[in-house]
Amino acid sequence: MTKRLASQRLISRIGLSLGMLFASATLTFLAVRMMPGDPATIILGGAMANPTPGAVAAITKEYGLDRPLIVQYGFYIWRLLHGDLGISFSQHLHVAEVLRQQMLPTLALASLSLFLAWALALVSVFCTVRRGRVLSSLGASLDISAAALPPFWLGIVLLWIFAFRLHLLPPAGSSSLASLIMPALSLAIPLGGFLAQVTRESMEIALDQPFILSARMRGLSMGQVLRRHALRHALLPGIALSAWALGALLGETAVIEAIFSRKGLGRTLVYAVSAQDMPLTTGIVLFVTVAYILASLVIEIIHELVDPRLATSRRRSASLWL
Amino acid sequence: MTRSHNPKPVLILIPVVACLAVLFYRYDTDSKTRHPNTHQGSAPHKGGTLVFATEREPLCLDPHVYGDMPQVYIAEQYLDRLVSMDEQGTIHPWLATSWEIADGGLTYVFHLRHDVTFTDGTKFDAAAVKRNLDHMVDPATQSGTAGGYIRQYTRTDILDPYTAMVHLSSPYSAFLNVLAQGFLGIESPAALARPRDVNCQSPVGSGPFIIAHWDHQSEVILRRNPAYAWGPSTAQHQGPAWLDGIVWRFIAEPSVRFAMLQAGEVGVIDSVPPEGETPAKANPDVSLLMADRPGNPTNGTLNTLRPPFNDIRVREAFIRSADIDGALGSIFFHHYARAGGPLSLSTPDYSPNFEHTKDYDPKRANELLEKAGWKDRDSEGYRLRDGKRLTVHIPISTVLAPADRTLWEQVQATARQTGFDVRLEPLSETANIARSDAWDYDVRIGYWNTNTPDVLRIVFGSAFTNHFQHGIHQNASGYSSPIFDGVVEQALATQDPQQRKALYQQAQEIIAKAHLQITTYSQTTRLGVFSNVHGVRIEPSLRVINFYDAWMTP
């Protein structure tokens, strides 16, 4: 019974993932190709370039821009099915090569931001929840204020203070670990505030449960109760939101990478869209979709590992999380 | 509630590690930046790697392909050209030692240096010249600049290994000028034999530096060409470059570039922001190096194909309603000079006679509009004719710099006083190109950098209107005058400099009188240089940064 359930879940999950990939490939293709303007002109330098008509014709033919849209779409999907992401119009590189060059800095930034966000959220919740009215409300208002900060604004403020005024951190670049600190904090502080809000609320609900009272009566300190009993319950909503958060972070890197002159997918995507570079735009969107699907899977596993109720049923059926 | 809560050690570690990283970095920058500059005025020092922070990353390092300004900046460092141009606009030998012009300007015979080798070991010869010119005009190259400048090119005959005869379809007196531009740099034929997209990543020239590596979205690494012995006469020294190499970093944000320069983290930056110029002048460690670029200055070109600007009186009225001098002063803190005529000051055969023929004059603007029939005003103060409002549509692309946008907002404000309803229409660059292709604008904002007054033919000649059809057109006004076309054609045909100067004078006058553009300021090269860097030059043909003579105090 449980085995069949697991394989059914696996099949439907794979089907759903493929559907998501197909939908994002199609939507991105349409969005880019329906934008006004002629990619051939943009490739040659825009309205002010001086190409010969021969050069415009050569580009139109090379990228198949003279074919009907439905034919272009058909070729595009056919190549995708063969694992060929195509060649970027504007960068003169294979899309797979652009992804290979640009993905690590972006993934490093997004995952460090998520890690820092959780660290900040836990510090805020641990230090202030149920610690007296003043401290509790101070913590809660800090969370709200942090969650309300726009990352780009925070990035500029951090840049101004730590790079321009104090000269403590490099204002630009992507080679050193130091260059990662400010971009990661700009993304982590607002997200951390948001995760702290969610965690604080569920922590307070958990702390009102009868088992907390009984644990305290067994003589455990407040800290021990928080860590051993309340935390598991309190973490769950935040963990469930983390896959969404990672997706959102990958999107927000575009602005942050631009502010801190970092290399990465976000900046490349912004450029690809403005240049109507269809293969590159769809390639990056597909990459982010895959990252999101994988992140959801990982988060689901973590969720079931952390959830004490699911842990009991896990002992009964080890493969349920699939 | 108890307060016995102890955070886990790992949580404490995070801020501690962060603090250590910060302290370490601070120590690191201190040791880099606090060297006093005691070597000024001494002989050039060989060695050192210069960090240059520039605004935009090129899409391809081969300047024949596409052809945008960031490409020519890098090409200047690793490519040589057939000829060079000096500050006065005179053409000098470079890879070509001499040349003869025959058949009334239809053939050019170039005699080439015998001692030049590309950095991949290929010898430079007449076949290399042929391969390069053929490559620029080949549609598969996708050239937006170099190929467009030599449309007249038909073929090259190799007379002997070091003599190349170039044939043109019509006389083109600007040919040597454009050959002096970095866009038409000479590349290794062996490297050009590779597919275009491979050559884009790692082109090969014979210049003072070699492209070593391109880390996309981050930097290009250039290193010295140790065999270099054929620098142009416009350079300050001969032999290999002083610098070991250049780290060519892409930092898009102007304020970040400027802050890095002030901290000495980079040696040279380009596009110094206008708000940085006053602090730069106050900083003893930073000097500024500026030059006006030749060509058609930054402008708004009026579309003469549709109302209201099909009426020359309305065109002049609009130009005279725009207080450009006032706007430049308030936006650029008086650091940008007004360019009044159709050519930038540094263009060869520039005439100063048209600098003030279009100055702000609201009184004359009002008179002209009355004469043109725009007599009534509506409740908001805009002029009316036959019940229709005097409206001007200006597409504003997202790629337009914020300062330029502000400039057009000021034009909007001053033109409103004479009764123009100026609509600034923000849109994406692709939508902007689509509007441009469809001639759907009253004003198109742009500029054209080139080192010859032949730019007038490209920007105002009827051959560049695309027959008023839908599509790319360089002539944004739609102006079409057989008299003007004749004058600029004659200027291309003549080999007599005095006669050419007179013809271009006449061409500038025709354009100034036709009221086709609001010209604002010249495009400029604006470099910031840290005190330990010396010998940075702005080369004369396109006013592009050149590091061949640059050196650093150790």
Which tens digits make up the pLDDT trace of A17-73? 899 999 999 999 888 888 777 777 777 766 667 777 777 888 888 778 888 888 888
Nearest residue in chain A measured CA to CA from B57: A91
CA distance B95 to A187: 53
ω before B139 within 30° of 0 (cis)?
no
Residues of A in contact with B11 (CB under 8 A): 119, 122-123
Pick the closest to residue B293 from B9, B554, B116, B539 (CA basis): B539
How much is the pLDDT for A227?
A: 79
Can you say whether the dihedral through the CA atoms of A56, A58, A60, A66 is positive or negative? Answer: positive
Window B:467-486, CB contacts with A under 8 Å: 471-472, 474
Strand partners, B288: B528
* R_g over Cα of chain A: 24
How much is the pLDDT for B263?
A: 86
The answer to whether B11 contacts A92, with C-beta atoms less than 8 Å apart, is no
Residues of A in contact with B459 (CB under 8 A): none
Residue type, B350: Y
Alpha helices for chain A (secondary structure H): 2-33, 39-43, 53-62, 69-81, 95-128, 133-148, 151-158, 178-207, 210-217, 222-225, 231-259, 265-274, 278-306, 308-316
The tens place of each residue's pLDDT in chain B, 554 residues long, gives 333 333 333 333 333 334 334 333 333 333 333 333 344 456 899 999 999 999 989 989 999 998 888 999 999 999 999 999 998 889 999 999 999 999 989 999 999 999 999 999 999 999 999 999 999 999 888 888 898 899 999 999 999 999 999 999 999 999 999 999 999 999 999 999 999 889 999 999 999 999 999 999 899 999 999 999 999 999 999 999 999 999 999 998 888 899 889 888 899 999 998 888 888 888 999 999 999 999 999 999 999 999 999 999 999 999 999 999 999 998 888 888 889 899 999 999 999 999 888 889 999 999 999 999 999 999 999 999 999 999 999 999 888 888 899 999 999 999 999 999 999 999 887 788 889 989 999 999 999 999 999 999 999 999 999 889 887 888 999 999 999 999 999 999 998 999 999 999 999 999 999 999 999 999 999 999 999 999 999 999 999 999 999 999 98
As a residue count, chain B comes to 554
- What is the largest distance, in Å, between two alpha-carbon atoms of chain A? 86
How much is the pLDDT for A308?
A: 66
DSSP conformational letter for B338: B
- Locate tokens 């050019």: which residue? B108
The answer to whether A58 contacts B216, with C-beta atoms less than 8 Å apart, is no
Exposed, middle or buried, B13 (CB in 10 Å: 0-12/13-18/19+)?
A: exposed
Per-residue HEC secondary structure of B484-515 comes to HHHHHHHHHHCCCHHHHHHHHHHHHHHHHHHC
Residues of A in contact with B438 (CB under 8 A): none
User: B263, A167 in Cβ contact below 8 A?
Assistant: yes
The answer to whether B140 contacts A58, with C-beta atoms less than 8 Å apart, is yes
The terminus-to-terminus CA distance of chain A in angstroms comes to 14
The answer to whether A50 contacts B200, with C-beta atoms less than 8 Å apart, is no
User: B389, B380 in Cβ contact below 8 A?
Assistant: no
Q: How near does any CA of chain A get to the CA of B259, in Å?
A: 6
Pick the closest to residue B189 from B237, B136, B151 (CA basis): B136
- 3-state DSSP assignment of residue A23: helix
Question: What residues contact B138, with CB distance under 8 A and at least 6 apart?
Answer: B147
The answer to whether B2 contacts A222, with C-beta atoms less than 8 Å apart, is yes
ipTM for this model: 0.77
Q: How near does any CA of chain B get to the CA of A245, in Å?
A: 21
User: B272, B528 in Cβ contact below 8 A?
Assistant: yes
The answer to whether A38 contacts B434, with C-beta atoms less than 8 Å apart, is yes
The answer, for B448 touching chain A at a CB cutoff of 8 Å, is: yes
> From its phi and psi, is residue A315 left (phi > 0), alpha (psi between -120 and 50) or beta?
alpha
Residues of B in contact with A226 (CB under 8 A): 5
Residues of A in contact with B149 (CB under 8 A): 50
What are B196-201's contacts with CB under 8 Å, separation 24+? B196/A92, B196/B62, B196/B65, B196/B140, B196/B141, B196/B142, B197/A87, B197/A92, B197/A93, B199/B62, B199/B65, B200/A92, B200/B59, B200/B60, B200/B61, B200/B62, B200/B65, B201/A92, B201/A93, B201/B61
Tell me the count of A-B CB pairs closer than 8 A: 197
Tokens of B449: 């950098």
Nearest to B68 among A45, A59, A276 (CB): A45
> Which residues of chain A, if any, have pLDDT below 70?
1-5, 45-48, 308, 310-322
Nearest to A52 among B147, B399, B446 (CB): B147
CA distance A114 to A192: 8
The answer to whether A261 contacts B14, with C-beta atoms less than 8 Å apart, is no
How much is the pLDDT for A3?
A: 56
Residue A229, CA distances (Å) to A220, A223, A237, A308, B536 in order: 10, 10, 16, 10, 67
Residue type, B469: Q
The answer to whether A123 contacts B1, with C-beta atoms less than 8 Å apart, is no
For B483, half-sphere exposure in the C-beta direction (CA atoms, 13 angstrom radius) is 7
Tokens of B204: 């090969």
Window B:161-220, CB contacts with A under 8 Å: 196-197, 200-201, 215-218
How much is the pLDDT for B471?
A: 79
Backbone φ, ψ for residue B225 (5° rounding): -90, 105
User: B186, B132 in Cβ contact below 8 A?
Assistant: yes
Residues of A in contact with B250 (CB under 8 A): 261
Order the strands of the B517-519 sheet from edge to edge. Answer: B443-449, B295-302, B517-519
Tokens of B125: 């010869």
Nearest residue in chain A measured CA to CA from B144: A51
The answer to whether B437 contacts A44, with C-beta atoms less than 8 Å apart, is no
Residues of A in contact with B14 (CB under 8 A): 116, 119
Q: How near does any CA of chain B get to the CA of A207, in Å?
A: 13
Residues of A in contact with B447 (CB under 8 A): 48
The H or E element spanning position B30 is: helix B9-33
Backbone φ, ψ for residue B340 (5° rounding): -90, -30
Q: What percent of chain A has pLDDT over 90?
A: 31
Nearest to B430 among A36, A126, A258 (CB): A36
How much is the pLDDT for B41?
A: 55
> Which DSSP string corresponds to A88-147?
-TTT-SBHHHHHHHHHHHHHHHHHHHHHHHHHHHHHHHHHHTTS-HHHHHHHHHHHHHHH
- 3-state DSSP assignment of residue B184: helix
Backbone φ, ψ for residue B414 (5° rounding): -75, -35
Exposed, middle or buried, A4 (CB in 10 Å: 0-12/13-18/19+)?
A: exposed
CA distance B487 to B514: 15
CA distance B279 to B495: 47
Nearest residue in chain A measured CA to CA from B2: A222
CA distance B345 to B356: 13
For an interface test with A, give the residue of B5, B201, B248, B249 to mutate (most A CBs within 10 A).
B5
How much is the pLDDT for B484?
A: 97
- 3-state DSSP assignment of residue B236: coil
Q: How near does any CA of chain A get to the CA of B56, in Å?
A: 11
Taking the model in full, what pTM does it have?
0.83
Which tens digits make up the pLDDT trace of B367-408? 999 999 999 999 999 999 999 999 999 999 888 888 899 999
Can you say whether the dihedral through the CA atoms of A128, A131, A134, A140 is positive or negative? Answer: positive
CA distance A288 to A251: 9
Question: What residues contact B311, with CB distance under 8 A and at least 6 apart?
Answer: B372
Q: How near does any CA of chain A get to the CA of B415, in Å?
A: 26
Number of H helices, E strands in chain B: 17, 25
